[in-house]
Amino acid sequence: MDYLPLFFDLKQRPVLLVGGGDVALRKARLLTRAGAQVTCVAHEVLPELHEMLDLHQGQVVIGEYHPQLIDEKVLVLAATDDDVLNERIHHDAVARNVPVNVVDSPALCTFVFPAIVDRSPIVIGISSGGQSPVLARLLRAKLETWIPTGYSRLGQLVGRFRDKVKARFGSVNERRVFWESVLQGQVAERVFAGQDSAAETLLEQQIEAGNARHQVGEVYLVGAGPGDPELLTFKALRLMQQADVVLYDRLVSPEVLDLCRRDADLIFVGKQRDNHAVPQKGINKLLVDHALAGKRVVRLKGGDPFIFGRGGEEIAELKKAGVPFQVVPGITAASACSTYAGIPLTHRDYAQSVKFITGQLKNRTTELNYAELVHPNQTIVFYMGLHTLRQNCEGLMAHGKPGDTPAAIVSRGTAEDQQVLVGTLSTLPDLQDEAQLPAPALVIVGEVVELQEDLSWFGDNAAPAVAGEHVD
């Protein structure tokens, strides 16, 4: 270990900062956030740095550095581009036993600044000992994605109740078990959902009851997106990795499913046309039953739970049963698949509105209001529309949509084997009869489809490089 990681309490403590440029400004931001009283000395000081120090009861000294400035300081930072001056500051600080940091000069540092993940009161520092600051920042970026900002409020909540928990539970082991359950249970989830008052009330109830377990679990309706696991949200991934039970659809890709908690119970409830592994009422019952058994349940849905995903039906049953739930939006297929196909759904020269249409209604009919769909300057996206492709194309043309209106099918959008078939309202059904692109697929109708050839960028349908463009 090259450096012992320590956390300094700098609140109202005097710190010397030598330098007045951009680097000094970045260091001053950290120091003032920690509550330090900063004295900055330099010949020139950026206006923003001057304003910051004025705001935080700091001091600016315009002029030369001299060793007496270090007296009574608890830390010294040198942020100058003068190597000789930096060495002087280092030696002066060491002679006075004051910790010193010289920016970008590890050999002149008695302490180094880590890359910081700030979820105060939780603070994480990552250091490479000055060997690779870029690597430390990359690791910090990964941690930033894994640790919700709600951990700050969660840490504050725990701090407010430490004494109550200590009084309620006599042994260290009992307190440890209690807090582990709280921090992985509904109290934490209420905080992450922005329901701080509910979290505090629940925590008080659990302290009073003498345990952290609540007889009712929770259900998370999570949008898994179109299939590419990199399109998941941070919140979706976090909930997937802590679920006890996962109910997943046919449209959830194996790559996304593989990101769920390893020991979770995975239950397939997918639907295909005329072939439902579990009827919707059965899915609703599974969600309620597992939650009432105290489990954390993820209902993993392709796309978004509230766009043709029956999320509204499921949470209505959860609410009726008194089961807590959260809904995590996902990237819906229309947005993702059109993007990966190079077809913008709106464009100021082609379409100023877009409509999402389901290929079939609840009673298995497709009685669409075609008259509403034939307006110009509008993009139409049909979900689950392959089996009614010909019917819908003919219905649009019968109500006045020109037969030469561009139309496309995007099959298995965002997947490595994505395929795009482009035609017109009059030709697309025959083209599909020949190509037999598989489901899941979207049908996109509108002038924006004309842009696909030039704007496609993903997979085998990527547009060729233009003249003069460098290709490795």
Closest CA to 323 of 331, 311, 315: 315
Distance, CA of 464 to CA of 453 (rounded, Å): 9
Same domain, 150 and 241: no
Whichever domain contains 235, its CATH number is 3.40.1010.10
Distance, CA of 332 to CA of 334 (rounded, Å): 6
To which H or E segment does residue 17 belong?
A: strand 14-18
Q: Is 320 a catalytic residue?
A: no
Distance, CA of 243 to CA of 259 (rounded, Å): 11
Q: Is the dihedral of CA 431, 432, 435, 437 positive or negative?
A: positive
State which of 279, 308, 328 marks the end of a domain: 328
Residues at the binding site for NAD(+) are 22-23, 43-44
Same domain, 229 and 197: no
In a domain, 466, yes or no: no
In a domain, 261, yes or no: yes
On whether the CB atoms of residues 256 and 229 are closer than 8 A, the answer is yes
Q: What is the Rg, in whole angstroms, of the alpha carbon atoms belonging to the chain? A: 30
- Structural domain that includes position 59: 14-113
pLDDT computed for residue 471 by the predictor: 37
Question: Which token pair is 201?
Answer: 């009330």
Please, what is the angle between helix 389-398 and helix 428-435, to 10°?
A: 170
Same domain, 357 and 455: yes
Same domain, 294 and 232: yes
Distance, CA of 104 to CA of 139 (rounded, Å): 19
Same domain, 347 and 293: no
On whether the CB atoms of residues 108 and 86 are closer than 8 A, the answer is yes
On whether the CB atoms of residues 240 and 298 are closer than 8 A, the answer is yes
Residues at the binding site for S-adenosyl-L-methionine are 226, 302-304, 307, 332-333, 384, 413
pLDDT computed for residue 274 by the predictor: 53
Q: Which residues contact 85 (CB under 8 A, 6 or more apart)?
A: 18, 65, 78
Pairing type for strands 122-126 and 75-78 reads unpaired
Q: If you ran DSSP here, which 8-state letter would residue 19 be given? A: -
| DSSP per-residue string spanning 426-456 | TTHHHHHHHH-PPSSEEEEESGGGGGHHHH-
In a domain, 49, yes or no: yes
What is the pTM (predicted TM-score) of this model? 0.71
Beta carbons within 10 angstroms of residue 243's beta carbon? 25
Q: Which residues contact 212 (CB under 8 A, 6 or more apart)?
A: 177, 178, 179, 180, 181, 182, 185, 187, 206
Q: 280-306 burial, b for 16+ CB within 10 Å, e for fewer?
A: eeebbebbbebbeeebbbbbbbbbbbb
Whichever domain contains 103, its CATH number is 3.40.50.720
pLDDT computed for residue 465 by the predictor: 41
- Give the total number of structural domains in the chain: 4
Same domain, 229 and 257: yes
Same domain, 369 and 266: no
Distance, CA of 49 to CA of 65 (rounded, Å): 18
| DSSP per-residue string spanning 183-196 | HTSHHHHHHHTT-H
Whichever domain contains 410, its CATH number is 3.30.950.10
Half-sphere exposure of 269 (CA within 13 A, CB side): 24
State which of 274, 296, 328 marks the end of a domain: 328
pLDDT computed for residue 469 by the predictor: 40
Strands (E) located in 19-150: 37-42, 59-62, 75-78, 100-102, 115-119, 122-126
To which H or E segment does residue 23 belong?
A: helix 22-33
Phi, psi dihedrals of residue 460, rounded to the nearest 5°: -70, -15
Active-site residue, from 235, 271, 285, 355: 271
Phi, psi dihedrals of residue 309, rounded to the nearest 5°: -115, 5
Same domain, 316 and 427: no
Closest CA to 66 of 99, 41, 98: 41
Closest CA to 16 of 31, 33, 26, 35: 31
In a domain, 25, yes or no: yes
Strands (E) located in 47-137: 59-62, 75-78, 100-102, 115-119, 122-126
In a domain, 194, yes or no: yes
Active-site residue, from 73, 249, 301, 401: 249
Q: Which residues are registered as beta bridge partners of 246?
A: 266, 298
> Which regions of the chain are under pLDDT 50?
464-472
Same domain, 204 and 271: no
Phi, psi dihedrals of residue 330, rounded to the nearest 5°: -125, 165
Distance, CA of 254 to CA of 164 (rounded, Å): 45
pLDDT computed for residue 210 by the predictor: 81
Same domain, 317 and 247: yes
Question: Which token pair is 31?
Answer: 């120091």
pLDDT in tens, 263-321: 899 999 986 655 556 888 999 999 999 999 989 999 999 999 999 989 999 999 999 99
Q: Is 295 a catalytic residue?
A: no
Same domain, 208 and 228: no
Closest CA to 169 of 211, 205, 213: 211
pLDDT computed for residue 273 by the predictor: 57
Same domain, 176 and 224: no
